[in-house]
């Protein structure tokens, strides 16, 4: 997909992640001339797949659970119908207990005192709910009750978002946090789990090649320029300058770069905009990938959330359960996520040993298990953080960028909580907006 630099002025796309490739795919279908510039030596961004020995790991837990028919069809055709359809199995780990997800609906089996307090607080909160929450903590108190919020949600929030729930807004929640009815909470506290409430009840995953196999559907022609890190954007002259010394003119620009990085590349940015961009928060993640000498089959889950502060990571998943081709026969694989930020640094720079100890502590792996491969990959941009100032700062940045004519797309270009399908649609939409301008 790499090509020699074309001196001709064309539409330029910054970043060859899902959104950037989706934008290129649409331009290619429209027979437009364009170039995609990617700083890495591979395409896919966070949707990329990497080999570690004979094991396959994605860049985090990626599956397709889109409800959009057009995306479902598109991804299915991308892998020529070669995918595995799963009924999702999701668990939570809390103080040695394994709880079905979402935990607020499945308290059965927890200590009696915990269940009692969760139920009392939930019923009281339900009676008094005013739908006037000003932050995520207040939303949790109203919808889940004080005990459950403090014992479960707030702990996971700190580990995943790296901020306290009271520092987060509510405009990211959507279907991600399930607000149960009184009947659901009471039933889940008194009976073993038999019902599904998770927004992700089933999903698809490519049979071969990891999640990145879906990228085959995003045909961008011979347009991707790898190892092209942008170091300067001159809007007036419509000129891109790259770290490798090359330069390229453009007619129009679509960027999937993180907004704070994009602002740094532009000249003569107003101080107010620089300050707002610098205040946009995003977590980082240490991804620990492990290959084990046995097929890890307990607990039975595709991924697991961990609430306890004593456990270093917030979530793990098992790539070998997504597709048997992700690991050699008779082996298993685990990928662990530990989030960090300026507000909550990594407990240790090298997290592999700590991760293995915590996996043993939770019973997921055994002391006698042989670790066949291990790797730590630190990702600077992980989750866009919806702090209380995000909306105001984002509006300032977007207002300025709209004046420059730069179209944005993707999780970090839009600075939104995009899932896979959102990112693809975001890339397509950026082209639609560009097309309107060109008419």
pLDDT-derived band at 5, boundaries 50, 70, 90:
very low
List Cβ neighbours of 244 (8 Å cut-off, separation of 6 or more). Answer: 227, 228, 229
CA atoms of 374 and 352, how far apart (whole Å): 7
pLDDT digits (tens, 9 = 90+) for 406-419: 999 999 999 999 99
Q: How far is residue 97 CA from its own chain's centroid?
A: 26
CA atoms of 375 and 244, how far apart (whole Å): 28
pLDDT digits (tens, 9 = 90+) for 232-253: 999 999 999 999 999 999 999 9
pLDDT digits (tens, 9 = 90+) for 38-95: 999 999 999 999 999 999 999 999 999 999 999 999 999 999 999 999 999 999 999 9
CA atoms of 212 and 407, how far apart (whole Å): 25
Its pTM surpasses 0.75: yes
The residue behind tokens 């006037």 is: 132
On whether the CB atoms of residues 180 and 107 are closer than 8 A, the answer is: no
**What's the Cα-to-Cα distance from 309 to each of 159, 160, 347, 398, rounded to whole Å?**
8, 11, 11, 37
CA atoms of 399 and 277, how far apart (whole Å): 12
Say what angle helices 112-128 and 182-190 make with each other, to 10 degrees. Answer: 170
Q: Please state, for a pLDDT cut of 90, what percent of the chain lies above it.
A: 91
Q: Say how many Å lie between the first and final Cα of the chain, rounded.
A: 29
């Amino acid at each position: 997909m790499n090509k020699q630099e074309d001196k001709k002025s064309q539409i330029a796309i910054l970043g060859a992640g899902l959104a950037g490739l989706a934008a290129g795919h649409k331009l290619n279908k429209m027979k437009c001339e364009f170039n995609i510039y990617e700083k890495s030596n591979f395409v896919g961004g966070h949707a990329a797949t990497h080999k570690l020995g004979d094991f396959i790991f994605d860049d985090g837990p990626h599956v397709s659970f889109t409800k959009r028919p057009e995306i479902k069809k598109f991804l299915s055709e991308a892998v020529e119908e070669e995918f595995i359809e799963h009924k999702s199995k999701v668990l939570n780990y809390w103080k040695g207990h394994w709880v079905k997800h979402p935990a607020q609906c499945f308290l059965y089996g927890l200590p009696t005192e915990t269940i009692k307090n969760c139920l009392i607080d939930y019923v009281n909160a339900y009676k008094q709910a005013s739908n006037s929450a000003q932050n995520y903590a207040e939303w949790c108190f109203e919808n889940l009750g004080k005990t459950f919020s403090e014992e479960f949600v707030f702990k996971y929030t700190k580990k995943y978002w790296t901020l306290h729930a009271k520092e987060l807004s509510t405009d990211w929640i959507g279907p991600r946090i399930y607000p149960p009815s009184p009947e659901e909470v009471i039933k889940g506290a008194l009976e073993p789990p038999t019902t599904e409430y998770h927004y992700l009840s089933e999903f698809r995953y490519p049979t071969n090649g990891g999640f990145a196999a879906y990228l085959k559907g995003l045909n961008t022609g011979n347009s991707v320029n790898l190892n092209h890190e942008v170091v300067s954007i001159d809007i007036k002259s419509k000129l891109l300058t790259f770290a490798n010394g090359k330069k390229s003119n453009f007619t129009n620009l679509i960027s999937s770069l993180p907004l704070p990085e994009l602002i740094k590349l532009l000249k003569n940015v107003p101080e107010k905009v620089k300050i707002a961009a610098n205040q946009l928060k995003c977590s980082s993640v240490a991804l620990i990938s492990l290959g084990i000498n046995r097929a890890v089959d307990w607990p039975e889950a595709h991924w697991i959330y961990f609430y306890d502060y004593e456990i270093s990571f917030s979530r793990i998943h098992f790539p070998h359960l997504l597709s048997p081709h992700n690991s050699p026969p008779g082996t298993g694989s685990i990928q662990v996520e530990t989030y960090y930020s300026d507000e909550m640094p990594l407990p240790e720079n090298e997290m592999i040993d700590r991760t293995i100890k915590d996996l043993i502590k939770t019973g997921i792996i055994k002391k006698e298990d042989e670790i066949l491969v291990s790797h730590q990959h630190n990702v600077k941009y992980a989750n866009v953080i919806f702090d209380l100032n995000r909306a105001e700062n984002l509006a300032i940045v977007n207002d300025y960028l709209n004046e420059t004519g730069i179209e944005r797309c993707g999780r970090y270009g839009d600075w939104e909580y995009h899932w896979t399908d959102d990112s693809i649609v975001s890339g397509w939409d950026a082209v639609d907006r560009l097309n309107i301008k060109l008419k």
